C-alpha cells in the first residue's frame, strides 16, 4: 500500500511575509511527534554556498550542528521555542536514532527511481525528505548490528548510499540550507501522532539495486 500524500497545516504554515514558519514546524516535531531536534548552523549571509561555521571547507553548509552540539537535541517545548525565537532562520536538525526515526539517503535522481520501484512492489513508505542533491527515506530506528548484517548480505554497497542512525542527524523541512531548501517529497499524513515509517530492511535491497543499476556509486562532495 502506497503511503497517501498528506500535509500538516502547521508544518507548512507561512508567516506574514510568506516565508515558512520554521518555529511551528520545530515545535510539531518536538512536542507532538517526540522527535529530538536542535538548530543547525546557518549558511553564511555573504554567500549561501558557504557555511556560518569556522570551517572554510565545510561540505554541508548551513545543515549541521555547531552551537549547540548534537547532544543538546531535545523535545522540550520551552527550549525549542527559545532556540527558534532567537534564531528564526536556523535549520531544523533531527537527531536520528534512539526513539526517533533513522534514515537512508541517496542522490536525488536515483532516489526518485528507487521510490518508483518501491511503489511498483506495493511497498508502503513513510515520509521522504528532499534536498536539491539528495533524498532521505525515513525508517524505524535500527542498531549498528542490524545495519551491519543487512549490508553484509549485499554483494556491493554503493558509496553514495548513506545511513543516518544513532548519533547522526538530518535537516527537516522547511529548513533553508546552503545547498538549498529542504522539502517533503512524500509528506507526512495529517494528524497529531508521529508518522509511520517502515523497517530499514524493507527499503535497503531496492535502494542498493537502483544505485547499482544506474551506476550512481560515488558520493557527491
pLDDT at 20: 63
Burial class for 115, CB neighbours closer than 10 Å (0-12, 13-18, 19+): buried
In degrees, rounded to 5, the angle at the alpha carbon of residue 31 between the alpha carbons of residues 25 and 35 is: 80
Distance CA 37, CA 92 (A): 7
Residue 82 has pLDDT above 50, yes or no: yes
Residue spans of alpha helices (H) in the chain? 22-27, 77-86, 108-120, 144-152, 201-214
Please write the tens of the pLDDT for every residue from 191-209: 768 899 999 999 999 999 8
Q: Which DSSP letter does residue 195 get?
A: P
Please write the tens of the pLDDT for every residue from 137-164: 999 999 889 889 988 898 888 888 999 9
Entry pTM: 0.86
Count CA atoms within 13 Å of residue 62 on its CB side. 22
Please write the tens of the pLDDT for every residue from 35-47: 999 999 987 666 5
Q: Is the peptide bond before 191 cis (omega within 30 degrees of 0)?
A: no
Q: How many CB atoms lie within 10 A of CB 124?
A: 14
Which residues is 130 bridged to in the sheet?
135, 183
Residues 51-74 have a mean pLDDT of 87
Amino acid at each position: 500500500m502506497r503511503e497517501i500524500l498528506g500535509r500538516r497545516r502547521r508544518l507548512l504554515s507561512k508567516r506574514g511575509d510568506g516565508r515558512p514558519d520554521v518555529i511551528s514546524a520545530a515545535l510539531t516535531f518536538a512536542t507532538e511527534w517526540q522527535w529530538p531536534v536542535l538548530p543547525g548552523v546557518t549558511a553564511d549571509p555573504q554567500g549561501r554556498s558557504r557555511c556560518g561555521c569556522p570551517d572554510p571547507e565545510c561540505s554541508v553548509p548551513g545543515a549541521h550542528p555547531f552551537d549547540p552540539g548534537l547532544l543538546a537535541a531535545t523535545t522540550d517545548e520551552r527550549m525549542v521555542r527559545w532556540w527558534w525565537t532567537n534564531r528564526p532562520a536556523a535549520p531544523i536538525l533531527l537527531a536520528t536514532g534512539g526513539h526517533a526515526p533513522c534514515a537512508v539517503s541517496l542522490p536525488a535522481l536515483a532516489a526518485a527511481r528507487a521510490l518508483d520501484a518501491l511503489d511498483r512492489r506495493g511497498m508502503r513508505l513513510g515520509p521522504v525528505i528532499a534536498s536539491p542533491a539528495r533524498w532521505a527515506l525515513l525508517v524505524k530506528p535500527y542498531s549498528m548490528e542490524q545495519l551491519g548484517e543487512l549490508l553484509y548480505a549485499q554483494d556491493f554497497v554503493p558509496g553514495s548510499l548513506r545511513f543516518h542512525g544513532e548519533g547522526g542527524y538530518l535537516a527537516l523541512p522547511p529548513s533553508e540550507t546552503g545547498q538549498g531548501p529542504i522539502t517533503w517529497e512524500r509528506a507526512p499524513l495529517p494528524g497529531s501522532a508521529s508518522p509511520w515509517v517502515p523497517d530499514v530492511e524493507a527499503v535497503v535491497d531496492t535502494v542498493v539495486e537502483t544505485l547499482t543499476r544506474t551506476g550512481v556509486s560515488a558520493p557527491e562532495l
